[in-house]
């Protein structure tokens, strides 16, 4: 008893001696863990928009490799006698090309083909002779009409066979092409393919190493795919069907890309989905970059922007015809997690090279659907999925708008349906992002939680906005609010992820690229700074008793990282003046060495999309502070992360 009294007395004495926070200080209460943070919190959202898959992340260099585009020779130029015929070995891609006499075919690639000096490229083709004994195919990597690599194949069989040839690039080529010349007996060719050997983790049907590495460097917690509007399709016939995207790559049927026509004044008539990057490859990528896969499936509705969502029509699946769509969802769970001995889809996964389950835990039904037809469809999906797979975390939708009548209505529908998470999308102005940093402070704490599934700050409106530093800074400020409310906001993914500099339909985008280069925008670095510093628990961070969400143009949040025993403070100053600050850490004393990561540039318009050095990139240095009160000046237009051992 005496001991207890003594320690109570000692604690009271310590409390009495605790240094009070200076007036106006940002007070971080180290003992007050207000929420746990989902380990998957910050992630990525991939969609085949802006040539993100075919022509982008998917490393195939040949466009229209199976001659299945409606215009069969789109992407190719021919010389001599070259005809498209219906004689393929692949039933779901039935066309091939016949070359007779001295003839040639050249493929332009996607805005040209990039070749790296000294690197090997794997050329492959399915071929057969239709008469004669032997045909020769000469392949040349071309750079402005000059050879930058060469090789020869001899075709000797009348049976369809796959032929492979390694070609080394003799120089760096920014925008090359692939030329094939034919001599000898008549041949038929199909699935003409050219891949860099150096793909991400060396997979043959692989991903561009530099682009996939940019994803890996984000250390994403979650990986949402494959869309976006892509999963809806402009019509139900052209929706994304995951079952078409698995199995032998040559036999995955072509689909149109929903983004062929969407961007104002930027039609993309050659934009198709080969599904070479399909669900197996998506799951594998998720695994290899350490992210939880979050597939999105069609809920029985084609894209509402492309149809009239106020009335029933052929864009909407009647409720009594929805079962095949629900089966797609149930089968996908088996494909990802099932036992190959017991399920055909799990057996296919094993046959494709992954007998172990992928450990699917999240599943979204529908993208950003809205209107009266959504809830009855989601209800049917949810009932069957919940009954069979009660552990799957289901994601519903709040529609495309982050506020307004329909947003409220969708949320009230979601509260009735009760998915685990509701996907919210915000493409909005810098002002909106700053004003919404406190969006979740008073959000209801009951019912489904939030997945901030698509967001980006658009300074000049859709299609006109660019990835400038100012937008990234506003995203950083907004994200302090996601982090502060990590009990309700469980996942967050910026959107869209990729854009080809010549082939975009939507901007801004997190990562830009051309045939050889990757451009990491300031928004990329903001995402990375959050992801690498996500911590495990939110700590109370207040100024004058309020969240730090805009007063004096400052935004701040703090986390504790249980894995490293670190305190991590994020502060964003969006004003054009520096701000001297007192950071008061209740419960800590003494000197600390901190790791300080800073994102800053004087140029608010900096875009980072240039072959020269990046204008904006985070810089980490070491600094000293003395606790409990650290005096800290945060310069104008800066994002600071202070990290130190507790
Ligand atoms: O991210 C681009 C598009 O924005 C997505 O496809 C869609 O979900 C949203 O409208």
pLDDT of residue 510: 98
pLDDT of residue 399: 97
Angstrom CA distances, 445 to 34, 120, 249, 595, stand at 13, 55, 46, 34
> Does residue 296 have its Cβ closer than 6 Å to ligand 1?
no
If you measure from the C-alpha of residue 21 to the centroid of ligand 1, how many angstroms do you get, rounded to a whole number? 45
The residues carrying an active-site annotation are 368
Nearest residue by C-alpha to atom 7 in ligand 1 = 228
If you measure from the C-alpha of residue 449 to the centroid of ligand 1, how many angstroms do you get, rounded to a whole number? 21
Atom of ligand 1 nearest to the CA of 495: 1
Sign, Cα dihedral of 272, 274, 276, 277: positive
**Beta strands 362-365 and 546-547: pairing type?**
unpaired
If you measure from the C-alpha of residue 234 to the centroid of ligand 1, how many angstroms do you get, rounded to a whole number? 13
* Other CB atoms within 10 A of residue 273 CB: 25
For 283-337, the pLDDT digits (tens) are 999 999 999 999 999 999 999 999 999 999 999 999 999 999 999 999 999 999 9
For 342-352, the pLDDT digits (tens) are 999 999 999 99
Give Cα 150 to chain centroid, integer Å: 36
In whole angstroms, give the CA distance from residue 522 to residue 600.
Answer: 9
pLDDT of residue 640: 98
Dihedral angle, C-alpha 70, 71, 73, 76, nearest 10 °: -110
Residue-averaged pLDDT of the chain: 95
What confidence category does residue 7 fall into, taking pLDDT thresholds of 50, 70 and 90?
A: very low
In whole angstroms, give the CA distance from residue 228 to residue 212.
Answer: 20
- The residue whose CB lies within 8 Å of the most ligand 1 atoms, and thus the one to mutate among 367, 499, 523, is 367
Average pLDDT over residues 553-578: 98
Average pLDDT over residues 401-407: 97
430 has a pLDDT exceeding 60? yes
10 has a pLDDT exceeding 70? no
Contact call for residues 492 and 452 (beta carbons, < 8 A): yes
pLDDT of residue 21: 93
If you measure from the C-alpha of residue 297 to the centroid of ligand 1, how many angstroms do you get, rounded to a whole number? 14
Average pLDDT over residues 449-465: 92
Angstrom CA distances, 285 to 208, 213, 216, 290, stand at 12, 11, 9, 8
pLDDT of residue 623: 96
> Does residue 232 have its Cβ closer than 6 Å to ligand 1?
no
Contact call for residues 637 and 604 (beta carbons, < 8 A): yes
In whole angstroms, give the CA distance from residue 396 to residue 447.
Answer: 12
pLDDT of residue 212: 98
pLDDT of residue 612: 83
> Does residue 495 have its Cβ closer than 6 Å to ligand 1?
yes
What confidence category does residue 265 fall into, taking pLDDT thresholds of 50, 70 and 90?
A: confident
> Does residue 47 have its Cβ closer than 6 Å to ligand 1?
yes
**Beta strands 518-520 and 537-543: pairing type?**
unpaired
In whole angstroms, give the CA distance from residue 395 to residue 603.
Answer: 39
Average pLDDT over residues 584-613: 94
If you measure from the C-alpha of residue 105 to the centroid of ligand 1, how many angstroms do you get, rounded to a whole number? 37
Nearest residue by C-alpha to atom 5 in ligand 1 = 228
Nearest residue by C-alpha to atom 2 in ligand 1 = 496
Euclidean distance between the first and the last CA atom of the chain, given in angstroms as a whole number: 32
If you measure from the C-alpha of residue 280 to the centroid of ligand 1, how many angstroms do you get, rounded to a whole number? 23
What confidence category does residue 165 fall into, taking pLDDT thresholds of 50, 70 and 90?
A: very high
Return phi, psi of residue 379, to 5°: -60, -45
- The residue whose CB lies within 8 Å of the most ligand 1 atoms, and thus the one to mutate among 227, 273, 297, 306, is 227
279-288 and 209-216 helices, crossing angle to 10°: 50
What confidence category does residue 610 fall into, taking pLDDT thresholds of 50, 70 and 90?
A: confident
Contact call for residues 422 and 378 (beta carbons, < 8 A): no
β-partners of residue 112 are 109
In whole angstroms, give the CA distance from residue 176 to residue 608.
Answer: 25
Structure-block tokens of residue 46: 């991939």
Nearest residue by C-alpha to atom 1 in ligand 1 = 496
User: At 429, is the secondary structure helix, strand, or coil?
Assistant: coil
Which among 387, 340, 206 is positioned nearest to 284, based on CA atoms? 206
| HEC letters along 236-287 | HHHCCCHHHHCCCHHHCCCEECCCCCCCCCCCCCCCEECCCCCHHHHHHHHH
- The residue whose CB lies within 8 Å of the most ligand 1 atoms, and thus the one to mutate among 224, 452, 454, 493, is 454
8 has a pLDDT exceeding 50? no
In whole angstroms, give the CA distance from residue 480 to residue 269.
Answer: 41
In whole angstroms, give the CA distance from residue 540 to residue 556.
Answer: 10
For 184-237, the pLDDT digits (tens) are 999 999 999 999 999 999 999 999 999 999 999 999 999 999 999 999 999 999
Any idea which of 19-28, 111-120, 604-613 has the lowest mean pLDDT? Answer: 604-613
**Residue 327: which residues within 8 A CB-CB, separation 6 or more?**
none
For 80-137, the pLDDT digits (tens) are 999 999 999 999 999 999 999 999 999 999 999 999 999 999 999 999 999 999 999 9
374-388 and 323-337 helices, crossing angle to 10°: 40
448 has a pLDDT exceeding 70? yes
Angstrom CA distances, 126 to 65, 201, 636, stand at 11, 25, 60
Atom of ligand 1 nearest to the CA of 496: 1
Number of H helices, E strands in the chain: 10, 32
pLDDT of residue 13: 44
435 has a pLDDT exceeding 60? yes
- The residue whose CB lies within 8 Å of the most ligand 1 atoms, and thus the one to mutate among 44, 45, 46, 47, is 47
pLDDT of residue 508: 95
**Beta strands 590-600 and 566-573: pairing type?**
unpaired
Atom of ligand 1 nearest to the CA of 230: 6
User: At 588, is the secondary structure helix, strand, or coil?
Assistant: coil
Exposure string over 437-457, b if 16+ CB within 10 A, otherwise e: bbbbeeeeeebbbbbbbbbbb
User: At 508, is the secondary structure helix, strand, or coil?
Assistant: coil
Contact call for residues 596 and 633 (beta carbons, < 8 A): no
Surface-to-core class of residue 265, CB atoms within 10 Å of its CB (0-12 exposed, 13-18 middle, 19+ buried): exposed
In whole angstroms, give the CA distance from residue 516 to residue 614.
Answer: 16
pLDDT of residue 398: 98
pLDDT of residue 261: 82
If you measure from the C-alpha of residue 228 to the centroid of ligand 1, how many angstroms do you get, rounded to a whole number? 5
If you measure from the C-alpha of residue 22 to the centroid of ligand 1, how many angstroms do you get, rounded to a whole number? 46
User: What would the DSSP string read from start to end of 511-557?
Assistant: EEE-SS-EEE-HHHHHHHHHHTT--SEEEEEEETTEE-BSGGGEEEE
Helix (H) or strand (E) holding 33: strand 26-36
**CA gyration radius for the chain?**
27
* Other CB atoms within 10 A of residue 610 CB: 12
User: At 218, is the secondary structure helix, strand, or coil?
Assistant: coil
> Does residue 227 have its Cβ closer than 6 Å to ligand 1?
yes
Structure-block tokens of residue 545: 């008793």
Structure-block tokens of residue 174: 């920014």
């Amino acid at each position: 008893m005496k001991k207890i009294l003594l320690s109570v007395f000692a604690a009271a004495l310590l409390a009495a001696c605790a240094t009070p926070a200076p007036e106006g200080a940002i007070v971080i209460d180290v003992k007050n863990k207000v929420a746990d943070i989902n380990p998957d919190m910050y992630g990525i959202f991939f969609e085949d928009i802006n040539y993100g898959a075919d022509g982008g992340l998917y490393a195939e260099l040949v466009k229209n490799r199976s001659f299945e585009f409606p215009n069969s020779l789109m992407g190719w130029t021919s010389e001599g006698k070259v005809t498209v015929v219906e004689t393929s070995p692949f039933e779901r891609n039935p066309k091939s090309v016949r070359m007779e006499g001295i003839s040639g075919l050249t493929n332009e690639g996607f805005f040209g083909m990039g070749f790296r000096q000294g690197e090997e490229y794997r050329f492959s083709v399915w071929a057969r002779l239709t008469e004669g004994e032997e045909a020769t195919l000469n392949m040349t990597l071309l750079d402005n009409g000059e050879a930058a690599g060469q090789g020869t194949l001899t075709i000797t069989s009348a049976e369809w066979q796959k032929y492979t040839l390694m070609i080394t690039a003799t120089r760096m080529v920014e925008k090359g092409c692939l030329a094939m010349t034919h001599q000898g007996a008549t041949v038929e060719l199909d699935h003409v393919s050219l891949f860099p050997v150096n793909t991400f983790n060396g997979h043959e049907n692989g991903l561009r190493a530099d682009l996939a590495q940019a994803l890996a460097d984000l250390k994403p917690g979650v990986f949402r795919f494959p869309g976006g509007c892509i999963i809806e399709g402009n019509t139900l016939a052209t929706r994304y069907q995951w079952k078409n995207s698995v199995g032998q790559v040559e036999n995955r049927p072509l689909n149109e890309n929903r983004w062929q026509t969407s961007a104002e004044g930027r039609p993309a008539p050659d934009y198709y989905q080969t599904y070479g990057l399909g669900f197996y490859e998506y799951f594998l990528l998720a695994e290899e970059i350490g992210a939880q896969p979050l597939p999105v499936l069609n809920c029985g509705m084609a894209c509402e922007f492309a149809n009239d969502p106020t009335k029933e029509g052929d864009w909407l699946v009647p409720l009594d015809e929805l079962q095949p769509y629900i089966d797609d969802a149930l089968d996908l769970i088996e494909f990802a997690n099932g036992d190959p001995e017991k399920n055909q889809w799990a057996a296919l996964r094993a046959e494709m090279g992954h007998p172990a389950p992928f450990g699917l835990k999240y599943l979204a039904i529908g993208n950003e659907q809205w209107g009266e037809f959504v809830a009855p469809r989601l209800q049917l999906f949810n009932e069957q999925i919940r009954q069979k797979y009660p552990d799957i975390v289901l994601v519903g939708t709040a529609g495309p708008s982050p506020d307004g009548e329909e947003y409220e209505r969708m949320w009230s529908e979601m509260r009735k349906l009760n998915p685990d998470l509701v996907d919210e999308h915000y493409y909005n102005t810098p002002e909106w992002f700053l004003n919404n940093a406190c969006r979740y402070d008073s959000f209801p704490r009951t019912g489904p939680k939030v997945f901030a599934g698509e967001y980006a700050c658009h300074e000049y409106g859709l299609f006109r906005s660019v990835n400038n530093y100012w937008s990234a800074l506003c995203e950083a400020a907004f994200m302090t609010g996601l982090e502060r409310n990590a009990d309700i906001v469980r996942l967050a993914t910026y959107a869209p992820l990729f854009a080809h500099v010549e082939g975009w339909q939507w901007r801004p985008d997190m990562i830009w690229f051309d045939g050889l280069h990757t451009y990491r925008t300031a928004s990329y670095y903001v995402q990375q700074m959050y992801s690498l510093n996500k911590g495990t628990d939110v700590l109370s961070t207040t100024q004058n008793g309020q969240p730090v969400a805009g007063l004096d143009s400052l935004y701040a949040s703090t986390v504790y990282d249980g894995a490293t025993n670190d305190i991590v403070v994020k502060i964003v100053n969006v004003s054009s003046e520096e701000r001297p600050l007192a950071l008061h850490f209740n419960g800590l004393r003494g000197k600390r060495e901190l790791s300080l990561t800073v994102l800053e540039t004087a140029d608010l318009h900096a875009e980072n999309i240039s072959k020269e050095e990046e204008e904006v990139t985070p810089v980490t240095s070491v600094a000293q502070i003395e606790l409990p009160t650290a005096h800290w000046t945060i310069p104008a237009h800066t994002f600071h992360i202070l990290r130190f051992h507790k």
